Chain A
Amino acid sequence: MAEVIIQNITKTYEKGTVKALDNVSFTVKSGELFGLIGADGAGKTSLFRILTTLLIPDSGKASVAGFDVIQDFKKIREIVGYMPGKFSLYQDLSIEENLNFFATVFGTTVEENYELIREIYVQIEPFKKRLAGQLSGGMKQKLALCCALIHEPKVLFLDEPTTGVDPVSRKEFWEMLGRLKERGITIMVSTPYMDEAKLCDRIALIQNSKILDIDTLEGILSKNKQNLFAVNSDKMYQLLKDLRAYPNTISCFAFGQKHHLQLNSGENSLKSLLPYLKQKGHTNISIKAISPDIEDTFIKLMQDA
C-alpha cells in the first residue's frame, strides 16, 4: 500500500525561470523509511513543502495517506508531522512549552502520546525549562522531532534532520527513526549525506530537480555496476591529472586518501594502466578493485543524467 504518491510534480520559482522539481513521480510505501538523497538545491525541500501542503505545485498530483495535497490539505495537516530543515520552533519558549503548545493545537496532550516520544524526550527532559533558542544543535533537533511526533502522525516528513548535527547525535537520531518505523509510522527523510542512505529502506536520488533513480540501496548499487578502482601513489595531484588523461578512463575523482577511477570495460584498460602510470613517473602505485558505494554511484548517475 502506498502512503505517499507523487505523480508528475513540477514546481518552478521566479515566474518559471528557476526549476525546483521537474516532472517528479514516485511512491512511498506504508511503513517505509524512505530517503531522499541529493545535494543542496536539488529540490528536496520543495518536494517536502508540497507534500506538507505548504506549497502548491505548478502541475502534477500528490497524495499523502490517501488525501490530495491540494483538496484535502486540512486532513493532511492533522495526520502528518513535519520537521523543516531550519529550526522552526519558538526560540523564546521552553522545551516544555513548545511541546505542550504543539500537543494542544493538535487536540492532544503530551501525556497521551508520551510513550511515542519518551525515548527522545528523556534525553532533553533535564533541560525542559530551558528556552529552545538556547539549546545545542542536537537537542534542538530532538525537540523538533518530539514536536513533530507529539500528535502521533501517520506520516513523518523530516527535511535534513541531521544537517549540522554531530556524528554521535546523527547516529542516535537514525536509531530513533528506525524505532519509529517499527511502530508503523511512514517516514520520509531527506539528507545530503550519502552514508545515511544505507539506513533507509529505499532511497530516491535527486539532482537538479530530477529523480535520478529510486530503489533500495542494494538495487541502485547493483544496477550501476562499475569498473571501479581505488588508486594511489606518491604524487596524488599529478596522479589525478594523469588518470583523467588516461584514454580508458570514464571518470576519476579524489575520494579522501585515494582516487576512485572508473574504467571502461575494455580488455586492456586495466592491464595497460600500471605501465602507463610508471611511464608518467609515479612511484608506490597501488591499484585495487573496489565495489562502488553510494557516493560513486551518485556521481556516475549525475554524469549519466
Chain B
Amino acid sequence: MRNLSFILQKEFRQIFRNTTILRMMFIMPIIQLIVIPLAADYEIKHLSISVIDQDHSSYSRRLISKLTSSDYFRLVQYDNDYSKALDNVGKGKSDLILTIPAHFERDLIKENSAKLALAADASNNVKAGLGSSYAVQMIADYNNDIREEWIQLPKFVDMPQIQITTSNWYNPHIDYHLFMVPGILAILVTMVGSFLASLNIVSEKEKGTIEQINVTPIKKYEFILGKLIPFWILGMITITIGMIVAFVIFKIIPIGSYLTIYGFSAIYLLAVLGIGLLISTFSDSQQQATLFAFFFMMIFVLMSGLYTPIESMPDWARYIANFNPPMYFVKVIRAVFIKGSSFSDLLPDFLKIIGFAIFFNGLAIFNYRKRSA
C-alpha cells in the first residue's frame, strides 16, 4: 500500500501538469450546463405555416389570426393555390399547410360543419407531429369559440360538461432547466469517469511507460487503484462544480439531500470507472480508446432518458436501457433534485448501481488479467 501513495502522488502531479484536462474539467460543466438546457427545449415554437385560403371570408380570416396570434405559428405564405404551398414545403420554407376550402363559412353556418385540410412536412417527424397537433387543438378551440357565440347560453348550463384542470407536480411551470440540468450533470460525471480514466490508462500503454512500471515491484491492483482514485476524486469535483453552476446560473438547488447525491455519485463513479478500465483493456492506443468511449457515450446519452423518455421507447430499446448505468443515475439525480427523493426511496436504484460497479470492475479485472498474464 505504501507504493500506492507514491503512485497517487505521481498521477496527481501529471494531472495537474496537464492544463488541458484541468481546463476541460472546469469549462466542460459550465458550458454544457449553460448551453444544453437552453438549446434542448422540447417545446416547438415558430413553426412556419402556409395558409391556402380559398374562401376569403371573415370566418377564414378569424381562423388564420387565431393561429398566427400564438407563438407557435408564423404565417409565411398566404395564397390560394395548394401547389404553390407544396412548393414552399419542398424548399423547406414551410412546415405546415392549412387549406381552407371555398364555401368554408357558408358550410359552417348552413350545414353546421365544414372541412379543413392540414398537411405537414414529416421529414422532421417531431415538428410534423407536434405542429399538426397544436394546429388541431387550436382549430378545435376556434370551433368552440364560434359555437359558444351561436348558442344562447341559459343561465345554468344544462349540457353536461367535463372540465379538466391539470397541475404539474414537482415542476409546476414545466421548467426545462430544472429537468435538464441534473440530467446533464449525470452525463458529465459519466464522461469524466469512463472517458478520461480509460484514456489515461491507455496512454501509459501507448507511450510504453507501462513496460517500465511492469518491471517494478508495483502490483497490478496498486497500479489500477492509482489510476482510479484520482479520477474518482475528479469526478466528485466535477459534480460539485456542476451543482455550483446549476445554482449560480439557474438557481437550481436539490430539494433532496446533498448527502444522497454524493452517496450515489461515489458509487456510480466506481461503476463508470469500471467501464473506463474495461475500455482500456480492449484498446492499445488512445485512438481506439476514444472510439470505444465515443461509442459507449452515444448509447449512454441517448438511452439514458436524458432527452427522450425511456417509457416511450420500443420494448427492445427499453430492455437495453435497463442495462445502461447512466439511466439510473440520471433518474436518481433528477429525483433528488426535483422531487427531493430520499435515499430509502431510491434504494432499488442504489443496489443496481452497486451491481453495475461490481460487474464492470470485475469484468475489467478479469479481462486485464487475461490479456497481460
- On whether the beta carbons of B6 and A105 are closer than 8 Å, the reply is yes
Interface residue? A77 (CB, 8 A): yes
Closest chain B CB from A101 CB (angstroms)? 5
- On whether the beta carbons of B6 and A101 are closer than 8 Å, the reply is yes
Q: Which residues from A are CB-within-8-Å of B3?
A: 104-105
Interface residue? A84 (CB, 8 A): yes
Interface residue? A193 (CB, 8 A): no
Task: Identify which of A56, A82, A89, A93 contacts B13 (C-beta below 8 A).
Answer: A93
6-29 of chain B: CB within 8 A of chain A: 6-7, 10, 13-14, 17-18
- On whether the beta carbons of A147 and B212 are closer than 8 Å, the reply is yes
Q: Which residues from B are CB-within-8-Å of A84?
A: 208, 211-212
Which interface residue of B209, B212, B214, B373 has the most chain A CB atoms within 10 A?
A: B212
Interface residue? B152 (CB, 8 A): no
Which partner residue on chain B sits nearest A101 by CB separation?
Answer: B10
- On whether the beta carbons of A74 and B215 are closer than 8 Å, the reply is no
Main secondary structure of the interface of A (DSSP, over half): loop
Q: Which residues from A are CB-within-8-Å of B216?
A: 77, 102, 105-106
Interface residue? B154 (CB, 8 A): no
Closest chain B CB from A47 CB (angstroms)? 15
Which partner residue on chain B sits nearest A80 by CB separation?
Answer: B215
- Write out, one digit per residue, whether chain B residues 185-221 have a CB within 8 A of any chain A CB (1) or not (0): 0000000000000000000000111011011111000
Q: Which residues from B are CB-within-8-Å of A77?
A: 214-217
Q: How many of chain A's residues have a CB under 8 angstroms from any CB in B?
A: 26
Given contacts A93-B14, A97-B13, contact A88 B207 (CB under 8 A): yes
- Write out, one digit per residue, whether chain A residues 145-182 have a CB within 8 A of any chain B CB (1) or not (0): 00100000000000000000000000000000000000
Q: How far is the CA of A191 from the CA of B3 in the complex (A)?
A: 33
142-192 of chain B: CB within 8 A of chain A: none
Which partner residue on chain A sits nearest B218 by CB separation?
Answer: A105
2-53 of chain A: CB within 8 A of chain B: 52-53
- Write out, one digit per residue, whether chain A residues 88-109 have a CB within 8 A of any chain B CB (1) or not (0): 1111110001000110111100
Which partner residue on chain A sits nearest B17 by CB separation?
Answer: A92
Task: Identify which of A78, A88, A93 contacts B211 (C-beta below 8 A).
Answer: A88
Main secondary structure of the interface of B (DSSP, over half): helix
Which partner residue on chain A sits nearest B204 by CB separation?
Answer: A90
205-246 of chain B: CB within 8 A of chain A: 207-209, 211-212, 214-218
- On whether the beta carbons of A90 and B10 are closer than 8 Å, the reply is yes
Q: How far is the CA of A91 from the CA of B211 in the complex (A)?
A: 14
Closest chain A CB from B300 CB (angstroms)? 29
- On whether the beta carbons of A90 and B209 are closer than 8 Å, the reply is yes
- On whether the beta carbons of A53 and B6 are closer than 8 Å, the reply is no
Which partner residue on chain B sits nearest A102 by CB separation?
Answer: B216
Apart from A77-B216, A84-B208: 14 A-B pairs, beta carbons within 8 A? A52-B215, A74-B217, A77-B217, A80-B215, A82-B211, A82-B212, A86-B211, A88-B207, A88-B209, A90-B10, A97-B13, A101-B6, A104-B6, A105-B3
Counting from the closest, the 4 A-B pairs by CB-CB distance are A88-B208, A88-B212, A82-B215, A104-B6
Can you name 29 A-B residue pairings with CB atoms under 8 Å?
A52-B215, A54-B211, A54-B214, A56-B373, A77-B214, A77-B217, A82-B211, A82-B212, A84-B212, A86-B208, A88-B211, A89-B212, A90-B209, A91-B207, A92-B14, A92-B17, A93-B14, A93-B17, A97-B10, A97-B13, A101-B6, A104-B3, A105-B3, A105-B7, A105-B218, A106-B216, A106-B217, A107-B2, A107-B217
